[in-house]
Structure 1
């Protein structure tokens, strides 16, 4: 199966879905935005900025866009001085907390005067435009240099990193912690001067994107372990991040990477990394020691000040020796997983979350509280059970809620993301469905006049249509942009409690009548296209395989999990084996590659199945309530389960290990969904809220 097409936002350069109309990272529209009563119409950003700042500055051209700001080259009129104007996008100016931090930290950063810290001349707000004026520099950032030219010579790296370490030391003495030190924030001017950028917006950008609770998570690959845990950070966290920058500069790679943000966070917390000299033999031993000391998990064991790190680099003396980690043992806890390099073909190897036993790895901890963990897929006749309690040895970290999308008056029965990940939808009380903007948490659209409370919904692959299933059995098709009802596909289909779109968006799969019959409807006409074989019992859950060949359904009477041929409507097989004792299959999911099926049921377990053979591969046990919702991560490496026990759990598909517990829902979890890029998770629960989570 081919991966979803992706592209880079032309403004902030973050990766987004190819079909995205608006960047979920910087909030900028990639085409003319829709005009609605909530969002209104947007003027051309550059024209708006130019007009608002015209008395003080002349805007010459746009220089680029970062994750949370637009940068223009301008001229300060009264001094005739070239400046770089950093402006918050209009899509973020409604966030009062972000604005407060932006201006407060800008003023704090303006107090810093150091040759290797960008100088801030002015900051303020004019006619709704929030800006920061700073010295205009020409050059390239260090990340761009490494990407284009490969690793930097170790001697040159000292000349770039030591001044930044000194600059951080100066900032720390002045009570300013950067919190987002990374190679793209180190500008190397045309004259070779390294300058640390983005003082003053690091806090603001992080808060907007990742938290509203005071916990700041920067860029995962550069985060210190204490920052990854959400703990209070100090100067030593910045020095850890600078150690990552040094590692990247001299090896051309990052210490910790992964296709999934949660995997990266876990690696930062628990894994070792490939020693730099294994990647680049030209790196001197003393520099490898410096890097190792910067990257120690314990902040007390690292360099304590920027000046100390600068001195170690300039004198080529790392100080007291520290152990150099290997690919099979790290400086974290003995239970940490093996650090993986590439697969021998220059490609990153598959992400793993937990250490495999053997191969020289430290002994894994004994199972506790009934935990059973397997390292490989079970044999054909040996399905495995994986169980874990919150306090078990395999439990690593509890994730926190980024924000709650409030406003539902009753249970939230369904949640989903738009195909580009910019929006979230929730269906619950008041007989309506709400559309939210993920970056801001703002309500954008409301779909009213549903026949009754929504219990299931899905977005078309292009994000332009919504199908809903009401508790009364009505199946309705909606226009997303306007919120208007397009047509009603069926009425009184109370025995089928789910509906979804085919992968090509041409059909809607749902019930027809009150006997549990499945039907494919043409999206364009509303006509019945395919009637599935008689099922004659309630169906609680439905999903399509990504290639559109198969349909998976979960029964609400016999506990059957059934596989159907989507083109003919014929049943192919039922999945029944082993400890399968369920009566209700509340939720089902296909893995992205279509190889596996996932089910959640009333016997407090989620199960992984082989689609081709119908064999039960493993059971994920540990919930103390009904498993009402399941989902796969976009890369297929993780399985997600949500339960009436108020917990959402993330499991490693390959090993069955419990990776994370999402602990924060005040009532049972009815629905869960991964964002298309795997960065966020939505949960809908009986506490009337939709919760957005991230590592």
Structure 2
């Protein structure tokens, strides 16, 4: 794409070429004419020049970095404005970033130690100035030709003691793969949050992959809070046990259990690498390095560690829970076109100056949920999107066969002991008493992003969107998950009418409610909720009433989907508690729970074909190694499974096109997600859309003409519309949103 600034002079800087581009800034290589030296010129895009939120982030980076004088923090040389667009001038780093080094896989411990020796004092120095980075990661550690490592991108940094609102109206910010548990939960932060991010980076440099990987940013953030990190030795056996011990301590869920400072982490790592016999004795009193001390120079890169190969697939259909008979698999495997393989194996040039925003308070306890339920004992009168008033306790509310009496739930698959079962029944009875008269607070509020010719809508600025001409034919209502609330935020299910831009909140409770899917008749919405500490499947009507609990057990059920006839709800379940999900289905009322598929691997995001014969899903042998995840197709009549993708990158979130002729899915190239399509046999795979950010959770409109998806190209996750061919992309939300899909037209 041609760039209007190349060859021009901006404030005495001659623009030569683009070296990085993101949703919030473009970075150019430029020559400073007065000193005849190369610099990095960071320019805020025109569409954000009049948005106070983006201007605040841009100016904040200048203000914070200007007060940080450290040899391993990239300095700002200049700040100015050109034709209404602000720019920052920084030192040019010719050797890329640590993220580029990771292209070759795990790094030798000595090289890791060299990098940490440089950035750890710089982090601690920033903390002594009351500055928290909040987005520390490999792409924000840049390198020079002499092996020097430098921290950059303080665009979302925060001064200690400031409230979150001082930075953004969006709540939690940062990159989910590197954010600490307390940051993912929106809690107060101190320097130990950056220490956690440094621990994640060390884990990645040592093993060649991140500790937590999943299909969505939200899922990764949840794992940061709830899932123990894998042992580095389980990924790279060359890692010593003493180095592993240091890394795992840095990744402790509780800040009090981590190292107090980044330099303490460095000293422990240095002891483990250079004197492992002493590190085995006991944890020493760690000597302190002054934050201003200089580090040594680095060395070469090691070849990547090769993961194990994927095992065979097996398939039971209609078996009782707990049984895992081996079913036959198709003899042929559809190969991915070589052109696509080449593209996916080559990581996109990392953009060290783009911060990824991820919002949401994660995890609310059962006690809070019960208190909220106990406080609500009155019947609310709600209004549907069509403006029809109804009583949510009557079957006639939306013409479906669910009563307002106590919900019928699926029998838990594992056997509970008497005490556990009694407690569970007590809680369920209490929940049923409340749910008999409870409806969600279906509040109506106008969604008002700013009218704009750009595909982006500025953050925090509201106005009804004026769609591009090609998109004006879009109709219907979409549902999605978004974080709501004031002091204590949680994810809630929200609907958005694309014709009048009226937004309706369908759930309203302290738990996180996510991943909604509407029934084929458009009357019901299934979703997952962590109301009791693990995720279970729930259903509400399209106006937010008649909440019904479909699964009720002590393990995780998630990613619900409907069969085409609306009789079954398909979902993934971690019955064994090993992070390797099996596919189950249950009747709409929670009865007749059946095991659909198990191969003792991670199986998720299952979706029926329009005719109901096939199920497409994500499968892979490792719960945390996303590079093993592929797309598979199950024939429900023959019980055969065919692999549709076969590569070394993460493929996931498959959905059928409404005519059943194509499958759309998300593929991850090591830096960002992009949207792909392929024929139902796995052939003709091709890129549909790939922004400078991460694009995910794509779904077709009922007529197949449009696609709604999430992207963080503007900094945080927002919803976008585009035509089914990947053209005419436009942002449609400004306050956040993820995992959107259409509610089909209503049918009785």
Between the two structures, name the one with larger relative contact order (CA 8 Å, sep ≥ 6): 2
What is the TM-score of this pair, normalised by structure 2? 0.45
